[in-house]
Amino acid sequence: MSAVLSIDNWKSEADRLSFRTEAFIGGKYVAAASGKTFDRINPANGKVLAQVAACDKEDVDRAVKAARAAFDKGAWSRRAPSDRKKVMLKFADLIEKHTTELALLETLDMGKPIRDSSKIDVPGSVNCIRWYAEAIDKVYDEIAPTGPEAVSLIRREPVGVVAAVVPWNFPLMMASWKIGPALATGNSVILKPAEQSPLSAIRIAELAAEAGIPEGVFNVLPGFGETAGQALGRHNDVDCITFTGSAEVGKYFLKYSGESNMKRVSLECGGKTPNIIMADCPDLDAAATAAAWGIFFNQGEVCNAGSRLIVEESIKDEVVEKIKAVGRKLQPGDPLDPKTGMGAIVDKTQLDRVLGYIDTGKKEGAKVVFGGARVRAETGGYYVEPTIFDDVDNKMTIAQEEIFGPVLSTITFTDPEEAVRIGNDSIYGLAAAVWTRDITKALKAARRLRAGVVWVNCFDNGHISSPFGGFKQSGFGRDKSLHAMDKYTELKATWIHIGN
Ligand code: NAD
């Protein structure tokens, strides 16, 4: 099992790895119609890993045709839920069986620590697909209380061809949050991974086929956002876009939909999560540790990263010192070393973006009190130290814009109302947290914070049964839980007249 491998084991496993690099359309691996490819760079060392098919409009047309044909044929869409369940459980088992390989693909492709990809990303993806497989033969349809003259059967039907466009920070897990409920409910799916992290998505396509998912039901199109992503968004025969990524691109999908077939769109976008620590916090060590992991985990490349530490003035220095202590142990290292807690930033563009925000923070008058620099440049990779800013005003750029890097902004308050006001002063509303031993204060804050999830006395906890998604410009629609199935189903009422 992956858990016992050393850095040398992981390195030799990586050397033995071969990459699937083509699109998967209609049950087969195929090159892009144009023959074009793009380089995948390993962010740990800046070296080329693989050349991957650069899909474009023509490939999107092919994939949509295959997906539509499979949907109309009904081998999946009209199959008994209990049969879909068996196939999806096998799919989850196969992903689990290939944990080592898939964890390596994630780590090599986007730089996250192997410890996380093998213990969080791949197991989390398996759990998600299993959960929807297990759920699908347990959800019932409805009969409306219309009265004695009629029976109205309210059925959920698959929406049709679903295109899932996903980001690079948790490539397999974000894909699973979409394909789990979309496949379970009987749709045909086209998955477009981010151009920074296509390898695991391409590989699981053949595992899906091996599990028995019929050809055309699950397709994978690697390629760029402006080309493959846009073509999916504008396609007249795609019924649903399920998107996770930046708010900027989320807005494009709304436009694409309006300018094409009015396809339904659900958006899981960015965040600027306020992590509010009050002076009566029940356990400051736990709060500071959670605050540190909440911003430094996955190099800070987390949509709900606790990037705004909103801390009561009287305990600020103590909390910041404790966060620094965790940060010291979390210095970036080789992602293939199982001891590494923080890996490489996904690519050079993102590295420059993060460093650019650190400069902006300094220019706007905030003070770097920990970290703040690129490190390990000699490896050729893209690493940034865990970074803490103090003296941040919530109006500053670093407190308003999503940095998507290991950069924490510390903001102080003196009364709980002010903390909630600062917390809500953001275009985003993905998540929030509040630490206090006073249940009344906690519940009041939780009700007033405009966010899809509010953690009380913890940070970033979750379960597949609990919905995840945002308010405001963090998007709409929910991943995880049975509520996710709403995105992939149409409600149909069949009205049967039984009166005279
Ligand atoms: P991104 O928006 O740049 O890209 C996301 C996806 O959209 C990729 O597949 C990309 O190829 C595609 N895309 C890019 N430009 C496009 C265009 N013009 N037309 C169509 N498709 C296009 O985001 P990213 O940099 O990959 O990921 C980081 C973002 O994702 C952050 O904002 C983060 O907060 C967000 N995110 C949100 C959640 C959530 O659940 N809310 C989870 C993870 C990441």
pLDDT single digits (tens) 86-115: 999 999 999 999 999 999 999 999 999 999
Number of domains into which the chain is organized: 2
pTM score of the predicted model: 0.97
Question: Crossing angle of helices 171-184/199-211, nearest 10°?
Answer: 30
In this structure, the answer to whether residues 297 and 243 fall within a common structural domain is no
pLDDT tens-digit readout, 221-270: 999 999 999 999 999 999 999 999 999 999 999 999 999 999 999 999 99
Q: Domain end: 214, 237, 269, which one?
A: 269
Q: Domain end: 242, 269, 296, which one?
A: 269
How many percent of the chain have pLDDT more than 70? 99
At 432 the pLDDT is 98
Q: Does residue 346 sit within a domain?
A: yes
In this structure, the answer to whether residues 281 and 159 fall within a common structural domain is no
Number of H helices, E strands in the chain: 16, 24
Closest-CA residue to 339 (of 108, 5, 42, 101)? 5
| pLDDT surpasses 50 at 190 | yes
Across 118-152, b (16+ Cβ under 10 Å) vs e yields bbbbbbbbbbbbbbbbebbeeeeeeeeeeeeeeee
CATH of residue 379's domain is: 3.40.309.10
| pLDDT surpasses 50 at 2 | no
Residue 198 Ramachandran class (φ > 0 left, ψ -120 to 50 alpha, else beta): alpha
Q: Does residue 98 sit within a domain?
A: yes
Q: What is the DSSP string of 160-198?
A: SEEEEE--SSSHHHHHHHHHHHHHHTT-EEEEE--TT--
For a substitution probing ligand 1, which of 169, 195, 238, 242 has the most ligand atoms within 8 Å of its CB? 169
In this structure, the answer to whether residues 320 and 233 fall within a common structural domain is no
- Ligand 1 midpoint to CA 249 (Å): 6
Q: Residues 278-306: what's their mean pLDDT? A: 98
In this structure, the answer to whether residues 320 and 296 fall within a common structural domain is yes
- Ligand 1 midpoint to CA 244 (Å): 6
Q: Does residue 492 sit within a domain?
A: no
167 lines ligand 1 (CB under 6 A): yes
User: Please, which pLDDT band fits residue 500 given cuts at 50, 70 and 90?
Assistant: confident
Q: Residues 1-21: what's their mean pLDDT? A: 88
230 lines ligand 1 (CB under 6 A): yes
CATH of residue 94's domain is: 3.40.605.10
- Catalytic site positions: 268, 303
At 3 the pLDDT is 52
At 180 the pLDDT is 98
3-state secondary structure (DSSP) of residue 90: helix
Q: Residues 347-354: what's their mean pLDDT? A: 98
| pLDDT surpasses 50 at 143 | yes
Distance set, CA 382 to CA 112, 302, 462 (Å): 11, 17, 30
- Ligand 1 midpoint to CA 167 (Å): 5
> Taking a C-beta distance cutoff of 8 angstroms, is the pair 175, 242 a contact?
no
| pLDDT surpasses 80 at 170 | yes
Sign of CA dihedral 380, 386, 388, 394: positive
Q: Residue 26: which domain range?
A: 2-269
Q: Domain end: 269, 292, 315, which one?
A: 269
Q: Does residue 221 sit within a domain?
A: yes
Q: Does residue 485 sit within a domain?
A: no
Q: Does residue 343 sit within a domain?
A: yes
For a substitution probing ligand 1, which of 246, 301, 348 has the most ligand atoms within 8 Å of its CB? 246
In this structure, the answer to whether residues 230 and 300 fall within a common structural domain is no
In this structure, the answer to whether residues 48 and 155 fall within a common structural domain is yes
Specify the residue for token string 């199959």: 79
Q: Does residue 472 sit within a domain?
A: no
Q: Residues 198-220: what's their mean pLDDT? A: 98
Q: Residues 134-153: what's their mean pLDDT? A: 97
In this structure, the answer to whether residues 210 and 244 fall within a common structural domain is yes
At 479 the pLDDT is 98
For a substitution probing ligand 1, which of 259, 273, 299, 303 has the most ligand atoms within 8 Å of its CB? 303
In this structure, the answer to whether residues 194 and 316 fall within a common structural domain is no
How many percent of the chain have pLDDT more than 90? 99
Q: How many residues does the chain have?
A: 500
In this structure, the answer to whether residues 244 and 209 fall within a common structural domain is yes
In this structure, the answer to whether residues 241 and 356 fall within a common structural domain is no
298 lines ligand 1 (CB under 6 A): no
In this structure, the answer to whether residues 195 and 315 fall within a common structural domain is no
Q: Does residue 148 sit within a domain?
A: yes
In this structure, the answer to whether residues 95 and 197 fall within a common structural domain is yes
Provide Rg for the chain, Cα atoms: 23
